[in-house]
A and B are shown apart, each in its own frame.
Chain A
Amino acid sequence: MSNSPALSLPAETSWTRFSNFWTDFRQSPVAVAALIVVVVVVLMAILAPFVAPQDPYNQETLDLFDARLEPGEIGSGGYAHWLGTDAAGRDIFSAILYGLRTSLIVGVMAGSLALVLGTSVGLIAAYYGGRIEALIMRIIDLQLSLPAILLALVLVAMLGQGLMQLVAALVAAQYAYFARTTHGAASAERRKDYIEAALSTPLPARHVLFRHLLPNALPPLIVVATVQVANSIALEATLSFLGLGLPITQPSLGSLISNGFQFLLSGRYWISIYPGIALMLTVVAINLVGDQVRNVLNPRRSR
């Protein structure tokens, strides 16, 4: 601790912080590959209407003569179905692109809503303490002891089918993870002197919560958020596979897998397998990226 002016240190800008982050992130080639997969998947989902040869939402473009074509066969549309077609003559490649879209929208929406809800709940518990904290955290513990899929199943069965109902069920099943993480991080920060200084100024509660407590509790949440987006996608696929998610006319990866499941044993593997690979790639890639983000953000990581 010397009193010499800290002039040699450059002011920390968001750009230098990002470039430091990136330098650390690319230490892992696997994570970089996973990031590329994620970017490609997201781009394909966004650009689906331009990339896909067929619009699976438009029933009129489906031709029953094209049903169950093998991968690479040329259908009545005059173009090759590189991943084959399903029993209704749907082009699997197009269906996967649109399915990715639905899955990502559901995953990201459920993930971010769960982030907002869970973080608020966890912050309130950590800030107020006492009975409020005990009550909230016992409810969270109770919920975490139930399998998320069970809770989501019950909720979807109660709310009915549809995109919004599905998102609501996923949020309700997953906010508890965010609440627990936020509560842990925020309780640790809550005891630090700068929070005490803020309370003894005194600053208004919203300042203490959102300017002091939340930003310092955020790093672990970013990691949980990435992983939970992947979990939401997988959970949605499970629900759709079980027939409780989205209908096949509004394909998601889960409903596509479910759609081809009955043909698996008859040798028409492509209807289920290709959506399955797409789902696996997406979920694994997001998880790998999330893991590396956690490694980079954790200063005590082992190198």
Chain B
Amino acid sequence: MPAALLDIDHVSKRFVKQSNIGERIAALLGAGQKAETVRAVTDVSLTVAKGEVVGLVGESGCGKSTLGRMVAGIYTPSDGKILFDKVPVARSQGRRTQKLTTRVQMIHQDPFASLNPRIRIGDTVAEGPVAHSIVRSREADSYVADLLGRVGLDPSYRRRFPHQFSGGQRQRIAIARALAMKPDLLVLDEPVASLDVSIQAQVLNLFMDLRRDLDLTGIFISHDLGVVRHVSDRVAIMYLGRIVELAPTSELYANPNHPYTRALFESVPRVGVGRKDFRPIAGEIPSPLHPPSGCHFHPRCPFAGPRCKRETPPLAAIGPGRFSACHLNTGGTD
């Protein structure tokens, strides 16, 4: 196995609801409620090898975006550390996060929000590499033209503003901006979720081409199992802040192990089979403010037993390269 480029080591992220002065005084007097803590990510470990793309899948609110933002240096972990090429991605500076590397770049979900509406797209793409002396400012223009061509946009568009582009085109601009920093690792946070299906395929194909040409490593965050199957070498399934299953893509899709993974597959509506047999997962996803005890999935799991309520199942190896966090693999749920 090649050396890990990214090492996520027992990382947790908690968000504490900010209380203002009034609430703090009320709490001191015993009137207000206590500060609430959201456990977005709990004790996640994951390594990504050079050249590999790992898919992160889960329902909304499962912490996959928070994990991605920690990898991209937007948040710092509350516990544990994220090492990129053996160096931390970011450090916290008071309340803010100072990112330490330019080699990890992120692509956001909504291309309508991720581009500054008042800056010409050429300048948006050129800003980072010029600020970090990746290109000299007088060469920036041809550098940008080259990058726009690479993501399938006419280089002459670089004098335009974001509002003159469609969603798919904007996502290409966002990809060009990330590539301009010559990254080794891309964090893609649902990069196609807000695009039309036909455009999704174009952007995904672009991503696959770039991956091949530039030898990119990636973390691909999505709730769409079909999309993830297309682009990932391995897939991690997340549920309420924890990774519940981690496996090579083909094996996971052929033979899912964790009850949650199986439920996810069953909830996908299939086209053209002729029967409507998709089953939504029973119940709502619990609030990360008050996660269930033991295995987070037990209130919705058809196989749950008393042990699931008591004990948190560790992410344990169940085969070569395969991990699952379920008591069914380790002696049953009683």
Contacts and interface: CB of A to CB of B under 8 A. Distances in A.
Co-complex (A, B): yes
Interface stretch (A2-10, A165-173, A280-288): A2-10
A212 B163 CA distance: 16
A60 interface: no
A192 B148 CA distance: 24
A88 B113 CA distance: 65
A194 B165 contact: no
A130 B94 contact: yes
A211 B195 CA distance: 28
4 closest A-B pairs by CB:
A130-B95, A1-B167, A193-B113, A193-B114
Interface string B145-187: 0000000001000011101111111000010010001000000
Interface of A: 1-6, 9, 11-12, 128-131, 134, 192-194, 196-204, 207, 211-212, 215-216
A2 B113 contact: no
B96 A215 contact: no
A3 B202 contact: yes
Contacts of B98: 202
A4 B166 CA distance: 8
B45 interface: no
A197 B106 contact: yes
A200 B72 contact: yes
Contacts of A130: 94-96
A199 B105 contact: no
B110 A215 contact: no
A9 B164 contact: yes
Given A200-B105, A212-B116, A1 B166 contact: yes
Nearest to B194: A1
Contacts, number: 105
Nearest to A218: B118
Nearest to A189: B116
B108 interface: yes
Nearest to B118: A215
18 contacts: A1-B196, A2-B166, A3-B198, A6-B165, A9-B164, A11-B164, A12-B164, A193-B110, A193-B114, A197-B115, A200-B69, A200-B99, A202-B73, A203-B127, A203-B131, A207-B131, A211-B127, A215-B119
Contacts of A200: 69, 72-74, 99, 105-106
Given A11-B164, A215-B118, A201 B105 contact: yes
B332 interface: no
A158 to B, nearest CB: 31
A129 B95 contact: yes
Contacts of A5: 154, 169
Nearest to B74: A200
B117 interface: yes
Contacts of B128: 201, 203
B108 A197 contact: yes
Contacts of A201: 99, 102, 105, 127-128, 131, 177, 181
Nearest to B114: A193
B116 A3 contact: no
Contacts of A215: 116, 118-119
A152 B128 CA distance: 45
A119 B96 CA distance: 21
Given A130-B95, A211-B119, 7 more contacts: A2-B196, A4-B166, A6-B160, A197-B177, A198-B116, A201-B131, A201-B181
A3 B177 contact: no
A211 B128 CA distance: 12
Contacts of A193: 108-110, 113-114
B214 interface: no
B131 A196 contact: no
Contacts of B72: 200
Contact of B74 (A6, A128, A196, A207): A196
Contacts of B195: 1
B118 A216 contact: yes
B27 interface: no
A112 B71 CA distance: 43
B123 to A, nearest CB: 9
B282 interface: no
B68 to A, nearest CB: 10
Given A1-B166, A6-B166, A199-B99, A194 B131 contact: no
Contacts of A6: 160, 164-166, 169
A203 B134 CA distance: 13
Contact of B113 (A4, A192, A198, A207): A192
Contacts of B25: none
Contacts of A194: 113-117
Interface in B58-111: 69, 72-74, 94-99, 102, 105-106, 108-110
A9 B157 CA distance: 12
Nearest to B111: A193
B116 A199 contact: no
Contacts of B169: 3, 5-6
